[in-house]
Amino acid sequence: MESANVLKGACIIGQSGGPTAVINASAYGAIRAGLDAECITKVYGAANGIKGVLDDKLYIMDEEDPAELKLLLNTPSSELGSCRYKMKDPDVDDTDYKRILEIFKKYDVRYFFYNGGNDSMDTCNKISKYCQKVGYDCRVMGIPKTIDNDLFGTDHCPGFASAAKYIATSCMEISKDATVYDTAQITVVEIMGRHAGWLAGAAALATAFGAGPDLVYLPEVDFDMDKFFADVDKIYATKNKVLIAVSEGIHYADGRFVSEAETSATDGFGHAQLGGLAVKLAEALKAHTGAKVRGIELSLLQRCASHLASATDRAEAELAGRTAVEAAVSGKTDYMVAFDCDRTNGKYTCATKLLPLSDVANYEKKVPMEWINAERNGVTQEFIDYALPLIQGEPEYPTESSLPRYAKLKKVIAK
Amino acid sequence: MESANVLKGACIIGQSGGPTAVINASAYGAIRAGLDAECITKVYGAANGIKGVLDDKLYIMDEEDPAELKLLLNTPSSELGSCRYKMKDPDVDDTDYKRILEIFKKYDVRYFFYNGGNDSMDTCNKISKYCQKVGYDCRVMGIPKTIDNDLFGTDHCPGFASAAKYIATSCMEISKDATVYDTAQITVVEIMGRHAGWLAGAAALATAFGAGPDLVYLPEVDFDMDKFFADVDKIYATKNKVLIAVSEGIHYADGRFVSEAETSATDGFGHAQLGGLAVKLAEALKAHTGAKVRGIELSLLQRCASHLASATDRAEAELAGRTAVEAAVSGKTDYMVAFDCDRTNGKYTCATKLLPLSDVANYEKKVPMEWINAERNGVTQEFIDYALPLIQGEPEYPTESSLPRYAKLKKVIAK
């Protein structure tokens, strides 16, 4: 997966999957490195990820004002646009691959950088293999991104830490607000993470600093409503306020998501309800305890709150983008940039490494069971020690009249 | 309402009603001024507002570490605890008033400061009148607080601006996130404000800076579902993304809250739903347009996000607390501290003034109809010009491992 020769040509950078607070920092790292690389003749941004390639909709990044480009560092979501597009197996249907090759040839694209999660690494891998099969010389690199933090082989994923910081800070604020009256109050906060509990676990950072959830439920553990009620009763008996963080992905032992499960009299749900898991569990606890309840869904904000990003996360996201381009320019292909971190003696360092794309695609990394407490309603100190270094630092964010000033790109479309 | 003599004695400071991001800044302003005033012999904080007085649960503020006290400036919610307690008419039942007088006498309380909204000003007024009636010399001052911004006679209320800034910033972030895919998407954001639309209107600050809601609905205007659909259709036809901000208090012409109204086939609600107004409207729009929809409730965070407070708001909140104490010490009683502001030529200044308590209690200030646009789905430039100066400035907030460091008070209870 290395070629010594200098490869001259254009590059495409694409963003894929759900937004994060720092995915644009990775884009900036890659775009800037692409513009600075001598062998890269042109830097294109794909509109809405791979769909922009298929639709021949590429933005010319060389046309952008450098100062505006730099504002990508503090612009949330995916500024080039994103997509959720699953590539077919090229052996079954190679229509898309032929089209991609056509576009690559049209713009002399010799570098392809794709920023996303599991599915995006799979897309990267398939495109690269196809190019190799047809003998088209193109270096393909994956740049990791996901708030879910479930990518294999890397210490963590860019995007996770900023979401974790938002969740922990918000839980601290909610814990102050939800305990202000002397009356009984139970509050349930719903956190993203369908299959892995990294984000829900991050709520415990708030507790570690004195004001956070009493109970945290991760999707790594089968959910049991009776056990849940017993957990809550225990806290409720000692203080009449309970704050609970739950992953949206909690499920019963038979696999049914609690958010989608049929309601029954035994679990306290009187009737079918929409409005999310937090409200559902809050209503069940109201029926069970009689307390005043509130369900709060952190919703989109946990993944796009760039005003509360982690400076560490932002710097690492940019580094990942830059590293992908520099590695490709130096001859590497078919890798995803990953992080190797050291936390020995409380000192955190983060170095990049390269993982073969074929090793990372479509494998989900979950929270290790030994980082979940014995009662299965919280995380251990190991989890805190893992996550805390990642959320460090408040990055500068430019404002205009005290509101965020985001990048305003021209997005000139290539003909 | 002025007495020239020096009144020596203790003071009580109480917090009431819903929390805000800066109500503790007002408490700090008052507590610090109380500790610094020669004639004030002791500063007590009432646990859970007037309930703490009735229950003889007062914290001795003189015992607190000054540095910890100062951290109240960036601690959200009401650190002394709050209550929602409506005082009876003393002519009907004076039990509470007798008890309050007993406690005032027990601790030689000669100053009473109460920080809250409409109901709290009413409480202030009643206690003061009762003290006067029974000939007990006590100076009573109200300190305004409410994110709803609906207090009469003041340019604005401490707490509003920080909530407004949170709402505007969050709407900017949501607008970036909710437009990331090239597929149709309608997003509804639900904002606090049961009777007044100040907070919903603040969402338009985001739009004024390039990334905010297309449509804003305030409770000052009767809601009409057909008109709403027509508004959305218009935006949806030109771009396939619509972002809508709604006040939780929007209601039909007959007074029924949209959030609570019976559902019907005509308004697109197929069946009864819990989970809030945002989800309800989103589902109605899904049925109407077929687009992907999402309902987001900003919930408690809009009132307790001290990490995103307005520096202007925080400074003014502290000023209001300090002014109340200084005015009382100088002989004033029966007033609420209010703000007189000047925005001439884009230069904002804010001065305090005193309003008779009897004038402010129980009157709600709404958004003027001339600040709502002709289409009744947004606000005018006048609204923006009014609100923008209030959200200015990012206050310092101390952190510990990059998470907020809140005040840790000893809360020594007076015997």
What does the pLDDT look like over B324-371, one tens digit per residue?
A: 999 999 999 999 999 999 999 989 999 999 999 988 866 789 999 999
Give the three-state DSSP class for A141: strand
- Is B391 at the interface with chain A, CB within 8 A? yes
B 201-230 residues with CB < 8 A to A: 205-206, 209-211
Least confident of A27-41, A51-65, B359-373: B359-373
Nearest one of A8, A180, A137, A15 to A84, comparing CA atoms: A15
pLDDT at B265: 40
A 239-278 residues with CB < 8 A to B: 273-276
Indicate whether B93 pLDDT > 90: yes
For range A260-279, the mean pLDDT: 58
Give the confidence band of B262 by pLDDT, cuts at 50, 70, 90: low
Structure tokens at A279: 């409200």
Neighbours of A376 (CB within 10 A): 18
Of B48, B174, B276, Cβ closest to residue A301? B174
The DSSP result for A173-210, as a single string, is HHHHHTTSSSS-EEEEEEE--SS--HHHHHTHHHHHTT
**Contact between chains at A403 and B307 (C-beta distance less than 8 A):** no
For range B238-248, the mean pLDDT: 96
Give tens-digit pLDDT for A353-389: 999 998 886 678 999 999 999 999 999 999 999 999 9
**Contact between chains at B176 and A77 (C-beta distance less than 8 A):** yes
Percent of chain A whose predicted confidence (pLDDT) is above 70? 95
Mutant choice from B22, B24, B180 vs A, greatest count of A C-beta within 10 A: B180
Rounded CA-CA distance A300/B282 in Å is 15
Q: In what order do the strands lie in the sheet with A185-191?
A: A215-217, A241-247, A185-191, A292-297
- Where b means 16+ CB within 10 Å and e means fewer, A211-220 reads bbbbbbbbbb
Rounded CA-CA distance B283/B302 in Å is 23
pLDDT at B269: 45
Locate the chain B residue with the closest alpha carbon to A280. B275
Structure tokens at A86: 């699953």
pLDDT at B268: 46
For range A88-115, the mean pLDDT: 96
Give the confidence band of B263 by pLDDT, cuts at 50, 70, 90: low
pLDDT at A223: 98
**Contact between chains at A403 and B172 (C-beta distance less than 8 A):** yes
Indicate whether A273 pLDDT > 70: no
The DSSP result for B331-356, as a single string, is TB-SEEEEEEEE-GGG--EEEEEEEE
Instruction: Provide the mean pLDDT of chain B.
Output: 94
- Is A394 at the interface with chain B, CB within 8 A? yes
Indicate whether A268 pLDDT > 50: no
Structure tokens at B94: 């004076």
E strand or H helix at B207, and its extent? helix B204-208
B189 contacts B213 by C-beta, under 8 angstroms: yes
Mutant choice from B293, B304, B403, B413 vs A, greatest count of A C-beta within 10 A: B403
Percent of chain B whose predicted confidence (pLDDT) is above 90? 89
A24 contacts A70 by C-beta, under 8 angstroms: no
Indicate whether B70 pLDDT > 50: yes
**Contact between chains at B173 and A301 (C-beta distance less than 8 A):** yes
**Contact between chains at B276 and A273 (C-beta distance less than 8 A):** no
Locate the chain A residue with the closest alpha carbon to B20. A177
Structure tokens at B255: 């007074």
Of B51, B209, B301, Cβ closest to residue A173? B301
B 125-144 residues with CB < 8 A to A: none
pLDDT at B210: 86
Locate the chain B residue with the closest alpha carbon to A300. B174
pLDDT at A212: 97
* CB < 8 Å to A179, chain B: 77
Give the confidence band of B38 by pLDDT, cuts at 50, 70, 90: very high
Rounded CA-CA distance A147/A227 in Å is 29
Between the alpha carbon of residue A202 and those of residues A193, A338, B76, B357, the distances in Å are: 11, 21, 21, 46
What CA dihedral angle connects B49, B50, B54 and B59, to 10 degrees?
Answer: 40
pLDDT at B360: 84
Contacts of B67 (CB under 8 A, 6+ apart): none
Residue type, A378: G
DSSP state of B223: B
Rounded CA-CA distance B247/A172 in Å is 25
The alpha-carbon gap from A331 to the nearest alpha carbon of chain B, in Å, equals 32
The alpha-carbon gap from A74 to the nearest alpha carbon of chain B, in Å, equals 11
ipTM over 0.85: yes
Give helix B311-329 / helix B23-36 axis angle, nearest 10°: 40
Helices (H), strands (E): how many in chain B?
14, 13
From the list B94, B119, B122, B148, the catalytic residue is B148
What CA dihedral angle connects B202, B206, B208 and B214, to 10 degrees?
Answer: -90
Give tens-digit pLDDT for A209-264: 989 999 999 999 999 999 999 999 999 999 999 999 999 999 999 999 999 875 54
What CA dihedral angle connects A311, A312, A315 and A316, to 10 degrees?
Answer: -150
Mutant choice from B50, B119, B176 vs A, greatest count of A C-beta within 10 A: B176
**Contact between chains at A294 and B300 (C-beta distance less than 8 A):** yes
Helix (H), strand (E), coil (C) string for A307-334: HHCCHHHHHHHHHHHHHHHHHHHCCECC
Site of tokens 């009356």: A183
Indicate whether A105 pLDDT > 60: yes
Indicate whether B58 pLDDT > 50: yes
**Contact between chains at A182 and B76 (C-beta distance less than 8 A):** no
Does the active-site annotation cover B119?
no
Indicate whether A54 pLDDT > 70: yes
Between the alpha carbon of residue A96 and those of residues A10, A17, A106, A334, the distances in Å are: 20, 18, 15, 19
pLDDT at A3: 59
Taken in order A311, B408, A296, B257, the sign of the CA dihedral is negative
Nearest one of A303, A310, A335, A342 to A320, comparing CA atoms: A335
Nearest one of A96, A106, A82, A159 to A130, comparing CA atoms: A96
Helix (H), strand (E), coil (C) string for A147-183: CCCCECCCCCCCCHHHHHHHHHHHHHHHHHHCCCCCC
Query: Does B396 or B377 have the greater pLDDT score?
Result: B377
pLDDT at B272: 42
Give tens-digit pLDDT for A342-351: 999 989 999 9
**Contact between chains at A48 and B182 (C-beta distance less than 8 A):** yes
Give tens-digit pLDDT for B76-85: 999 999 998 8
Give tens-digit pLDDT for B179-230: 999 999 999 999 999 899 999 999 999 999 989 999 999 999 999 999 999 9
* CB < 8 Å to A279, chain B: 274-276
For range A41-60, the mean pLDDT: 98
* CB < 8 Å to B393, chain A: 402
**Contact between chains at B304 and A174 (C-beta distance less than 8 A):** yes
Strand pairing category for A40-46 and A58-60: antiparallel
Indicate whether B266 pLDDT > 50: no
The DSSP result for A219-266, as a single string, is TTS-B-HHHHHHHHHHHHHHSSEEEEEEETT-BBTTS-BTTTSPP-TT
